[in-house]
């Protein structure tokens, strides 16, 4: 049985096809550009081709992410918190705590050994401390995203950012630069400040090993280090973790499909 | 507290004496607790320290512990712990400091704070008091006495309010007699109240000297230093004597002409709780401009003695009731407004500075209306700035300094109204 | 207040239609043929910030008294010839642009929107306002209200917090006497015990009808949506009480005939929104995502006590009923402990979880949540904590978290 | 030795104005980078070039703006609040209220007949409703902020932009675009949000005519109309509105050098 997971996020749209809820066949990603429906369709088409399963070869499709309801050709949708948790535990079975740093929101999620969410907390009022913060810093420090981490890692005395506003942090960083604080210290300060904000959410939920990082910043070694430093424990992550929500969605789709005896049906009560 | 070397800020003898008393007090606390020296937790506003002490209790004021933590820069760790327990960003910093500290074992740089054997909630002008004491009762499972103090809506307390409180005080005394197995020594209570009265009169005398010009005292930043005895040790001989020392030293200041600032440029009335985590920095923003607080509302949170709410050995319970009713934050909004307007007049102030506390609604909610009334109805210049009494994360020095500089700049310019240059713009 | 600005135009508040007009006899509500119709009417009424029912009432020279949450002795206000009106803030339709200045930014929305209504002249139909001391914000709000509504009478009611003292009831009686003299000065009919007894009897009957609604929601949650039961209760603070009783009596007979369309949903207790009101969308959402709200803290004025003894000294009985109420919410000293309180409520409601829905900046609610959480953790009872604002923008985020909560209980 | 220079180092731009006998004879405006001291000097040099004058012609240099302490070559520094009051009064002598929406903060200032600050209020710790907010949202619409000035005019059904957080609003705008909403209506919605946040500040100082709108955002005609509409008052906007702080600073220099002020 092949189930698909589509994570229709604000920044990027991610997809995955999974066989028998066990084996990842293919993953895909593209920027959403404000049009999740189109992005989702393209991602799905590409995956179907690459894994060469015919469209109807995808037995069950489960969507997640901000636009999970905007995708009509779905069988089921689940919240991205439920999905990331499930995905994280699939990728790292010992996971008990998941940190999901998305472009706009950061979530701390406590999970059971089966990947069920037991408690969670996310930033609500504003995007302070979410991933978008890092892109903005990259932009106004004129450092390409992929160079942020390597540059940050050599920091000697990281300079924390006190402003809670992702936009106002700009001035603070410019001040730091003008006061001659070395670039690495500023960059690492950015990641540490981010980790610190995440840590407030994590402590509120209660942190237990193992800790897994999912979402947009999994590529950034600096982010991982910063998180390990503030949480005082090792952090699991790898490149697949970016697709954790999509993977989780596909797996939840699979178990639902099995409950239904292999026959896809209409959407359940939980709909928009 | 503080740890100042700057001689113009403080009365040196008084400050040293005050330090001894603080250290002595906390030393005593760390040995207190249990049946021989039971501990009662109490709130500053409208507190019943005289009654409780006369039953041999040691008294802890978590609000004062909290502000001491903030001054010593250890409040944030307590607050963060409380937040990890689930207390939100918008919850009172005093509450978070205390509950965080309790969870962490009660150790502070100035000694260990013993757990309570009795919780006395004087619900006098702050609803958070009720919530806070409920949380402590749930943690420690010790008895909680709720003294319900009606909100003061008329300048002079009403008979039914006093009767209600006196009845509750008698029930409280009965409870204490039951807990301690000893009965109230009325003579001792009266002696305690007489000592309290003397301390209160000394304190009032000190505060009133702000009316002189230039003012020999800093009625906000400096006065905060001398509040400890009146709030914590009221009813002891030491507290009464302390203010004799203070007032004597104020007189010396006048004789020797050493004033809080070299040149008194602006006389201010200050409203609001100080930003304890950045107390010094904030004070310096005033000193830089030669601005002196000649009167302030915050030093009155322990009791509005200067408005006649004094303890009276001749009317023990009645005067305690009136005192509780008169706590500053228990005064209705119009009464609070009146107090500030009177201070501006009686202390010949040039302006009012209002310091809003982001996590304290009791003090802060509506201060914008106060500001509006001062500026637009009375033409009194007023500045409103906001930070927190306990949480260092809320103090943004650059922004606050910018506002204060702009404010004093404009006061300065309005003094000597400047003719504008001819413009052909 | 300083420089008032006229609010207008496409850049102002979402263009609301012309104000709703209601007949002096409130026929519309008498005639409404079904619960759906009543709910619909009520939606219209509360969407209109100009208080249509109050305008209808005062048109013929009668007077209305605005009552701030959570409890006021409305029997007494009714007995003096006023229409007691439960104020519940500005709802979704108004925008705060005047009230920030006097009140400050770090405060709950209901306090600001109530002041905003006053500063923008929408409270002119009211003769007087009563604020119970439920929190420091409502208390200070009362203090600054007179500058916003110079022609109305405002009164601060100190509801006692010591429920163990023998002096509590006598004090509350004295407190009510102060309110009486204020209302007499405001032009109310002189206080007469027999009139209070009559009002108490009327309110007793309303209370038992409202109790019926909540009982139905608990035993047969499919019969009545949370939104419906909420709207029907909300009407109780807006209509003349005689009309309201009439309406409720018809509702209960309709309810008995209604089928219990039950679905596979999770029974939850809703804690927190006892003062500021969530948006109707959010109230709908709670059940849409797969919950049955079988116990809630919304609009409790008629659930404070079952009945008051109309015989004897009605004023004393009214005070006694308040003092003896076992109701346990954030703005009233708890009679037991928060831990016991939440666990017994969950048990009584046979609920599988608790949803904390607390208003932003509502400190009393926020402080209780921590104690509730501890008790629920001990018993491994799942819960979700959401913050809301009456003009809630974070609908999508609330949906996300509610769905996650439901999924965490359903999936495994 | 007859020129008075005002240098305003803001969060996003550096402005300089040269006054001679109460007339503006030279000005400059440039974005600030990370070396504020250099930016400040450059802005003075550019203004001198603009005026065709020499550094030695300058009598007094006054710095203002959040970077005023970077004007290390100047004699005086004054807060931007005082300078905006002065500058607005210079351009529109009947000004009683100044609304300044800059890159990162919004201020409302009440001034008296002589252009002295009577009262002021500023936003805090959040970019909601600032120039930066507008830049970011314009970007989400696929425009540069300089292009949207008149775009919103004739909007019929302004959308409701519910998010005050710039980052959230950015994606809210993106989703409106995706849903094919008319950019007119989206912008109108954005302006509505910014205006109502500004009103909260204006309320603090009290509104009375004349109202003068300054700062980068006042260049945006849609915003100016939106503000005037909500206020029910005409709103003064000068082509020099971005220079108001610098003008005020220069005027302070004039007065101080006459020794009439502390």
Angle formed at CA B186 by CA B184 and CA B188, multiple of 5 degrees:
100
Q: What is the mean pLDDT of residues B359-367?
A: 94
- For residue B264, with 0-12 CB atoms within 10 Å meaning exposed, 13-18 middle and 19 or more buried, which class applies? middle
Q: Does D128 share its domain with D213?
A: yes
pLDDT tens per residue across span D217-255 = 999 999 999 999 999 999 999 999 999 999 999 999 998
Same domain, A176 and A141: yes
Residues A204 and A105 in one domain: yes
- Clarify whether residues A130 and A58 are in a common domain: no
Does A258 touch chain C if contact means CB atoms closer than 8 Å?
Answer: no
Here the tokens at position D90 are 């210079």
pLDDT tens, residue by residue, A122-136: 986 676 667 778 887
pLDDT tens sequence across A92-145: 999 999 999 987 889 999 999 999 999 999 986 676 667 778 887 888 788 888
Q: For chain D, how many structural domains are there in total?
A: 2
Mean pLDDT over A239-267 rounds to 87
Task: Give me the residues of B, 107-146, that contact C with CB < 8 A.
Answer: 123, 126-128, 130-132, 134-135, 137-138, 146
Q: How far apart are CA A29 and CA A49, in angstroms?
A: 14
| Domains of chain A: total | 2
Nearest CB to B413 within list D121, D124, D261: D261
In a domain, residue A143? The reply is yes
Q: Where are the domains of chain C?
A: 37-191
Preceding peptide of C50 cis, ω within 30°: no
| A271 lies in some domain | no
Spatial separation of the C-alpha atoms in residues A132 and B10, rounded to whole Å: 49
Burial class for D200, CB neighbours closer than 10 Å (0-12, 13-18, 19+): buried
- Collapsing DSSP states into helix, strand and coil, what is residue D96? coil
Same structural domain, D149 and D196:
yes
Helix/strand number for chain B, H first, E second: 17, 10
Q: Name all chains with 3 or more CB-CB pairs below 8 Å to chain B.
A: A, C, D
Cβ distance C5 to D199 less than 8 Å, yes or no, reads yes
* CB-CB under 8 Å, A204 with B83: yes
Within 8 A by CB and 6+ apart from B194, the residues are B313
What is the average per-residue pLDDT within A185-211? 91
Could you tell me the end-to-end alpha-carbon distance of chain B, in angstroms, rounded to an integer? 56
Mean pLDDT of A53-72: 88
Supply the pLDDT for residue A265: 59
Same domain, D183 and D242: no
pLDDT over 60 at B424, yes or no:
no
Separation of alpha carbons D21 and B423, rounded Å: 7
Q: What's the complex ipTM?
A: 0.89
A92 and A62 housed in the same domain: no
**Calpha distance C108→B90 (Å, rounded):** 10
Handedness of CA C103, C386, C49, D161 (dihedral sign): positive
User: For residue A37, how many other CB atoms are within 10 A of its CB?
Assistant: 16
Q: Is the same domain home to A129 and A233?
A: yes
Is the same domain home to A211 and A147?
A: yes
A269, part of any domain: no
The answer, for C403 touching chain A at a CB cutoff of 8 Å, is yes
Question: What CATH number corresponds to the domain at position D258?
Answer: 3.30.420.40
Domain co-membership, A120 together with A11: no
CATH number of C37-191: 3.40.50.11890
Q: How far apart are CA A245 and CA A86, in angstroms?
A: 8
Q: Do B84 and A204 touch (CB under 8 A)?
A: yes
Q: Is D120 on the interface with B (CB under 8 A)?
A: yes
Could you tell me which residues come within 8 angstroms of residue D240 by beta carbon, excluding any fewer than 6 positions away? Answer: D24, D27, D91, D247
Could you tell me what percent of chain B has a pLDDT over 70?
Answer: 96
Do D58 and D84 lie in one domain? The reply is yes
Question: A211 and A252: one domain?
Answer: no
Within 8 A by CB and 6+ apart from C322, the residues are: C71, C73, C159, C172, C304, C305
Q: Is the confidence at residue D162, as pLDDT, over 80?
A: no
Is pLDDT above 50 for D56? yes
Subunit contact B86:A200, Cβ cutoff 8 A: no
Residue from D155, D196, D211 whose CB has the most chain C CBs within 10 Å, to mutate: D196
3-state secondary structure B355-395: EEECCCHHHHCCHHHHHHHHHHHCCCCEEEEEECCCCHHHC
Does any CB of chain B come closer than 8 Å to the CB of residue C336? no
In this structure, the answer to whether residues D215 and D244 fall within a common structural domain is: no
Show which of residues 216-245 on chain D sit within 8 Å of chain B, judged by CB atoms. none
Residue of A160, A200, A201 best to disrupt the B interface, most CBs of B under 10 A: A200
Q: Around Cβ D27, how many Cβ atoms within 10 Å? A: 22
pLDDT band with cut points at 50, 70 and 90 for residue D125: low
Domain ranges of chain B: 12-415
Secondary structure string (H, E, C) spanning B40-64: EEECCCCCCHHHHHHCCCEEECHHH
Q: Residue A251's domain spans which residues?
A: 2-77+244-259
The Cα–Cα gap between B39 and B49 comes to 12
A42 lies in the same domain as A108: no
One domain for residues A193 and A254? no
End-to-end CA separation in angstroms for chain A: 27
The answer to whether residues C274 and C330 touch, using CB atoms and an 8 Å cutoff, is yes
On the question of pLDDT at B5 being above 60, the answer is no
Decide which of B60 and C16 is more confident: B60
Give the mean pLDDT of chain B: 93
| Domain at A27, CATH number | 3.30.420.40
Residues of B in contact with A204 (CB under 8 A): 83-84, 86
Q: Report pLDDT for A268.
A: 44
Domain range for D150 is 96-237
Q: Nearest-CA neighbor of C140 among C104, C176, C181?
A: C104
Q: Please check whether residues D169 and D224 belong to one and the same domain.
A: yes
Extract the tokens encoding C310: 């109309």
Residues A152 and A28 in one domain: no
Residue numbers in D near C397 (CB within 8 A): none
> Along the 412 residues of chain C, how does pLDDT read in single tens digits?
444 444 433 334 444 578 999 999 999 999 998 999 999 999 999 999 999 999 999 999 999 999 999 999 999 999 999 999 999 999 988 888 889 889 988 899 999 999 999 999 999 999 999 999 999 999 999 999 999 999 999 999 999 999 999 999 999 999 999 999 999 999 999 999 999 999 999 999 999 999 999 999 999 999 999 999 999 999 999 999 999 999 999 999 999 999 888 788 999 999 999 999 999 999 999 999 999 999 999 999 999 999 999 999 999 999 999 999 999 999 999 888 999 999 999 999 999 999 999 999 999 999 999 999 999 999 999 999 999 999 875 788 899 999 999 999 988 6
Residue D142: its H or E element? none
Single out the residue of B59, B52, B50 nearest to residue B198, CA to CA: B50
The confidence score (pLDDT) of residue C336 equals: 86
Instruction: Based on the fold, state whether residues A115 and A220 are members of the same structural domain.
Output: yes
Give the pLDDT confidence score for residue C401 in this predicted structure. 94
Same domain, D60 and D119: no
Residues D105, D80, single domain; the answer is no
**pLDDT, tens digit, 9 for 90 and up, residues B11-29:** 889 999 999 999 999 999 9
Cross-sheet strand order for the sheet of B118-123: B58-60, B39-42, B118-123, B144-148
Interface chains of chain D (3 or more CB pairs under 8 Å): A, B, C
């Amino acid at each position: 049985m092949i189930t698909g997971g589509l994570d229709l996020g604000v920044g990027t749209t991610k997809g995955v096809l999974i066989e028998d809820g066990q084996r990842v066949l293919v993953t895909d990603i593209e920027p959403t550009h404000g049009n999740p429906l189109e992005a989702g369709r393209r991602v799905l088409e590409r995956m179907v081709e690459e894994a060469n399963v015919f469209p109807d070869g995808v037995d069950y499709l489960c969507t997640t992410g901000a636009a999970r309801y905007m995708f009509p050709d779905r069988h089921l949708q689940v919240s991205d918190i439920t999905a990331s948790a499930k995905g994280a535990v699939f990728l790292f079975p010992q996971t008990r705590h998941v940190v999901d740093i998305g472009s706009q929101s950061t979530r701390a999620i406590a999970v059971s050994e089966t990947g069920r969410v037991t408690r969670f907390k996310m930033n609500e009022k504003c995007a302070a401390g979410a991933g978008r913060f890092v892109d903005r810093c990259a932009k106004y420090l004129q450092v390409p995203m992929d160079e942020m981490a390597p540059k940050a890692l050599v920091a000697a005395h990281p300079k924390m950012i006190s402003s809670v506003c992702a936009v106002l942090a700009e001035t603070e960083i410019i001040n730091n630069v003008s006061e001659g604080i070395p670039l690495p210290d500023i960059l690492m300060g950015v990641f540490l400040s981010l980790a610190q904000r995440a840590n407030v959410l994590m402590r509120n939920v209660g942190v237990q090993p193992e800790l897994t990082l999912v979402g947009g910043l999994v590529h950034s070694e600096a982010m991982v280090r910063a998180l390990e430093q503030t949480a005082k424990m090792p952090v699991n992550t790898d490149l697949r973790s970016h697709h954790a929500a999509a993977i989780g969605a596909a797996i939840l789709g699979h178990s639902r499909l099995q409950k239904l005896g292999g026959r896809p049906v209409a959407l359940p009560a939980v709909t928009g | 507290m503080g740890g100042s070397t700057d001689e113009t800020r403080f009365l040196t003898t008084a400050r040293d004496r005050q330090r001894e008393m603080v250290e002595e007090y906390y030393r005593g606390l760390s040995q207190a607790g249990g049946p021989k020296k039971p501990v009662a937790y109490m709130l500053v506003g409208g507190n019943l320290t005289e009654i409780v002490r006369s039953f041999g209790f040691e008294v802890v004021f978590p609000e004062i512990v909290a502000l001491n933590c903030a001054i010593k820069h250890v409040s944030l760790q307590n607050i963060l712990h409380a937040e990890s327990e689930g207390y939100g960003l918008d919850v009172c910093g005093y509450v978070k400091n205390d509950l965080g500290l309790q969870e962490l074992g009660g150790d502070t740089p100035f000694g260990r704070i013993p757990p309570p054997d009795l919780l006395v909630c004087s619900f006098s002008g702050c609803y958070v008091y009720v919530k806070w004491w409920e949380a402590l009762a749930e943690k420690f499972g010790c008895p909680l006495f709720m003294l319900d103090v009606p909100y003061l809506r008329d300048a002079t307390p009403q008979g039914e309010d006093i009767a209600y409180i006196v009845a509750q005080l008698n029930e409280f005394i009965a409870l204490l007699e039951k807990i301690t197995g000893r009965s109230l020594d009325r003579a001792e209570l009266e002696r305690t109240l007489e000592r309290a009265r003397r301390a209160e009169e000394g304190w009032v005398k000190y505060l009133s000297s702000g009316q002189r010009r230039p003012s020999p005292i800093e009625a906000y930043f400096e006065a905060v230093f001398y509040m400890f005895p009146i709030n914590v040790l009221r009813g002891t001989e030491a507290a009464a004597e302390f203010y004799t020392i203070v007032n004597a030293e104020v007189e010396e200041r006048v004789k020797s002409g050493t004033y809080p600032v070299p040149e008194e440029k602006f006389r201010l009335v200050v409203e609001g709780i100080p930003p304890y985590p950045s107390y010094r920095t904030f004070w310096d923003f005033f000193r830089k401009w030669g601005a002196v607080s000649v009167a302030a509302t915050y030093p009155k949170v322990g009791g509005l003695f200067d408005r006649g709410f004094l303890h009276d050995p001749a009317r023990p319970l009645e005067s305690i009731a009136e005192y509780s009713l008169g706590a500053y934050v228990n005064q209705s909004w119009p009464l609070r407004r009146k107090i500030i307007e009177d201070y501006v007049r009686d202390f010949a102030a040039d302006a009012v500075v209002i310091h809003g506390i982001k996590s304290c609604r009791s003090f802060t909610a509506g201060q914008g209306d106060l500001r509006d009334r001062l500026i637009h109805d009375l033409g009194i210049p007023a500045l409103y700035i906001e930070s927190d009494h306990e949480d260092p994360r809320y103090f943004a020095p650059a922004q606050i300094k910018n506002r204060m500089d702009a404010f004093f700049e404009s006061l300065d310019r309005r003094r000597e109204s400047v003719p504008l240059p001819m413009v052909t713009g | 207040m300083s420089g008032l600005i006229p609010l207008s135009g496409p850049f102002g508040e979402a263009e609301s239609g012309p104000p709703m007009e209601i007949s002096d006899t409130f026929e519309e509500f008498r005639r409404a043929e079904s619960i759906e119709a009543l709910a619909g009417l009520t939606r219209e009424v509360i969407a209109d910030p100009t208080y249509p029912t109050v305008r209808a009432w005062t048109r013929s020279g009668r007077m209305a008294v605005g009552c701030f949450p959570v409890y006021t002795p409305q029997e007494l206000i009714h007995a003096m010839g006023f229409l007691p009106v439960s104020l519940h803030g500005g709802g979704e339709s108004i925008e705060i642009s005047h009230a920030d200045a006097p009140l400050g930014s770090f405060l709950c929305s209901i306090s600001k929107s109530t002041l905003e209504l006053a500063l923008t002249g929408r409270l002119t139909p009211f003769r007087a306002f009563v604020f119970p001391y439920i929190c420091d914000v409502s208390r200070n709000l009362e203090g600054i209200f007179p500058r916003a509504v110079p022609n109305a009478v405002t009164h601060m009611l100190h509801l006692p917090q010591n429920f163990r003292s023998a002096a509590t009831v006598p004090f509350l009686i004295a407190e009510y006497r102060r309110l009486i003299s204020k209302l007499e000065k405001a032009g109310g009919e002189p206080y007469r015990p027999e009139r209070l007894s009559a009002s108490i009897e009327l309110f007793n009957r309303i209370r038992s009808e409202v109790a019926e609604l909540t009982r139905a929601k608990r035993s047969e949650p499919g019969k009545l949506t949370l939104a419906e039961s909420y709207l029907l209760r909300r009407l109780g603070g807006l209509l003349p009480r005689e009309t309201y009783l009439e309406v409720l009596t018809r509702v209960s007979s309709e309810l008995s005939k209604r089928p219990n369309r039950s679905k596979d949903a999770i029974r939850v207790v809703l804690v927190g929104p006892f003062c500021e009101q969530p948006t109707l969308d959010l109230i709908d959402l709670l059940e849409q995502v797969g919950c049955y709200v079988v116990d809630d803290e919304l609009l409790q004025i008629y659930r404070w006590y079952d009945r008051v003894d109309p015989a004897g000294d009605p004023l004393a009985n009214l005070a006694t009923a308040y003092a003896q109420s076992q109701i346990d919410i954030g703005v009233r000293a708890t009679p037991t402990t928060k831990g016991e309180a939440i666990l017994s409520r969950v048990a009584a409601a046979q609920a599988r979880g608790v949803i904390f829905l607390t208003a932003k900046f509502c400190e009393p609610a926020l402080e209780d949540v921590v104690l509730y959480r501890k008790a629920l953790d001990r018993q491994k009872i799942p819960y979700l904590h959401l913050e809301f604002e009456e003009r809630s923008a974070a609908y999508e985020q609330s949906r996300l978290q509610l769905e996650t909560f439901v999924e965490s209980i359903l999936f495994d | 030795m007859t020129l008075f220079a005002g240098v305003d180092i803001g969060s996003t731009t550096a402005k300089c104005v040269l006054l001679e006998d109460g007339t503006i004879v030279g000005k400059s405006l440039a974005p600030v980078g990370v070396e504020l001291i250099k930016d400040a000097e450059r802005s003075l040099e550019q203004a001198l070039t603009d005026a065709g004058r020499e550094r030695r012609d300058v009598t007094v240099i006054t710095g203002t703006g959040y970077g005023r302490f970077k004007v290390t070559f100047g004699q005086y520094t004054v807060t931007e609040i005082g300078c905006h009051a002065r500058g607005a009064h210079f351009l529109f002598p009947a000004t009683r209220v100044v609304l300044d929406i800059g890159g990162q903060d919004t201020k409302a200032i009440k001034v008296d007949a002589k252009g002295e600050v009577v009262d002021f209020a500023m936003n805090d710790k959040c970019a909601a409703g600032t120039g930066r907010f507008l830049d970011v949202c314009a970007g989400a619409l696929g425009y540069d902020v300089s292009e949207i000035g008149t775009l919103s005019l004739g909007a019929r059904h302004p959308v409701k932009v519910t998010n005050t957080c710039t980052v959230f609003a950015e994606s809210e705008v993106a989703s409106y675009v995706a849903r094919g909403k008319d950019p007119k209506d989206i912008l109108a919605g954005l302006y509505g949000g910014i205006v109502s946040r500004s009103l909260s500040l204006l309320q603090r100082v009290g509104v009375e005519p004349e109202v003068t709108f300054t700062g980068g955002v006042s260049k945006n005609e849609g915003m100016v109309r939106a503000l005037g509409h909500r206020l029910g008052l005409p709103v003064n906007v000068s082509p020099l509105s971005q220079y108001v702080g610098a003008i005020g600073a220069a005027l302070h220099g004039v007065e101080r050098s006459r020794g009439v002020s502390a």
